[in-house]
């Protein structure tokens, strides 16, 4: 794991956008995340598109996950969110932005179709990830198999409570979601995980310095050989060896 610590979430956003830019120029398959964490990165990518002419026209994109049991056009569906946060503001073809169905009658079939679409696209070249306060990646909640594939999953109470801020009340948060599996995510060629804010500090520590465990799904990234972890100071505050990570980072700068 390569670990980069910057002062603020906006600095992390610029840093992540600079890492993603060469992939965009090659017309890569992008793995996109939703939630609050990637917003500064998406803002920086939109700026590059508007001010520097960065074109996404040759890219395609796959979302990590989607709530299950809400309308695709609900403002909090991830289908809507990624369009609002990023893809409506860049020149990617809307049909090239793929996501899991929020209402598939046969979730197992939907999962299999999604996996084969990803495969046909040549796999994800660069995957952007956030991390849940409980260590989840995408919606792979604690105890998810480390080799799990795309599937329907029940959300944990912690995740429902954390995501209630996007809805009028906690009761409105869907209880289930479709998610890429951990095994699916680990097939991305490069992974960029971003964590910002003190609420993520404990999960970040478990991911980087804890044991490989399905109890912290993000610890599965220890098994991948091209992972960059981008942290602000608050998210890095629980790390035991923080001075070492900063030294290595400074050495390569
Ligand atoms: P957040 O969610 O970016 O909204 O904090 C991250 C996640 O749950 O993966």
pTM of the model: 0.96
In terms of C-beta density within 10 A (0-12 exposed, 13-18 middle, 19 or more buried), how is residue 7 classed? exposed
Q: Would you say residue 253 has pLDDT above 80? A: no
Active site residue 49: no
pLDDT digits (tens, 9 = 90+) for 155-175: 999 999 999 999 999 999 999
Q: Residues, the chain, total?
A: 253
- pLDDT over 70 percentage in the chain: 100
Edge to edge, what strands does the sheet with 151-154 contain? 65-68, 176-179, 151-154
Output the average pLDDT for the chain.
Answer: 97
| Whether residue 237 has its Cβ less than 6 Å from ligand 1 | no
**109-132: average pLDDT:** 98
- pLDDT over 90 percentage in the chain: 97
Q: Would you say residue 235 has pLDDT above 90? A: yes
pLDDT for 87? 98
Active site residue 136: yes
| Whether residue 36 has its Cβ less than 6 Å from ligand 1 | yes
Could you tell me which of 246, 237, 208, 236 has the C-alpha nearest to residue 224?
Answer: 208
pLDDT for 127? 98
pLDDT digits (tens, 9 = 90+) for 19-68: 999 999 999 999 999 999 999 999 999 999 999 999 999 999 999 999 99
- Which atom number of ligand 1 is nearest to the Cα of residue 38? 3
pLDDT for 161? 95
What band does 252 get if pLDDT is binned at 50, 70 and 90?
Answer: confident
Alpha carbon distance 135, 88 (integer Å): 30
97 DSSP assignment: E
């Amino acid at each position: 794991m390569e670990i980069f610590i910057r002062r603020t979430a906006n600095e992390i956003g610029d840093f992540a956008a600079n890492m993603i830019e060469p992939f965009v120029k090659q017309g890569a398959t992008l793995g996109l995340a939703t939630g609050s964490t990637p917003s500064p990165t998406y803002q920086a990518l939109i700026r590059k598109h508007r001010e520097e002419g960065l074109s996404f026209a040759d890219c395609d994109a796959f979302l990590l996950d989607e709530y299950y049991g809400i309308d695709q056009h609900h403002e909090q569906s991830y289908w809507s969110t990624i369009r609002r946060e990023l893809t409506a503001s860049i020149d990617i073809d809307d049909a090239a932005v793929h996501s899991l169905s929020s209402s598939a009658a046969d979730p197992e079939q939907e999962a299999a179709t999604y996996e084969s679409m990803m495969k046909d696209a040549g796999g994800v070249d660069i995957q952007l990830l956030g991390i849940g306060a409980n260590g989840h990646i995408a919606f792979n909640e604690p105890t998810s198999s480390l080799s799990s594939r795309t599937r329907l999953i029940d959300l944990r109470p912690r995740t429902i409570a954390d995501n209630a801020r996007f809805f009028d009340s906690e009761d409105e948060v869907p209880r289930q979601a479709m998610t890429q599996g951990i095994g699916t995510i680990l097939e991305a060629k490069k992974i960029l995980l971003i964590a910002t804010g003190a609420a993520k500090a404990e999960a970040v520590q478990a991911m980087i310095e804890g044991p490989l465990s399905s109890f912290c799904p993000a610890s599965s990234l220890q098994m991948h050989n091209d992972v960059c972890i981008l942290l602000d100071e608050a998210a890095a505050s629980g790390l035991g060896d923080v001075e070492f990570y900063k030294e290595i980072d400074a050495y390569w700068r």
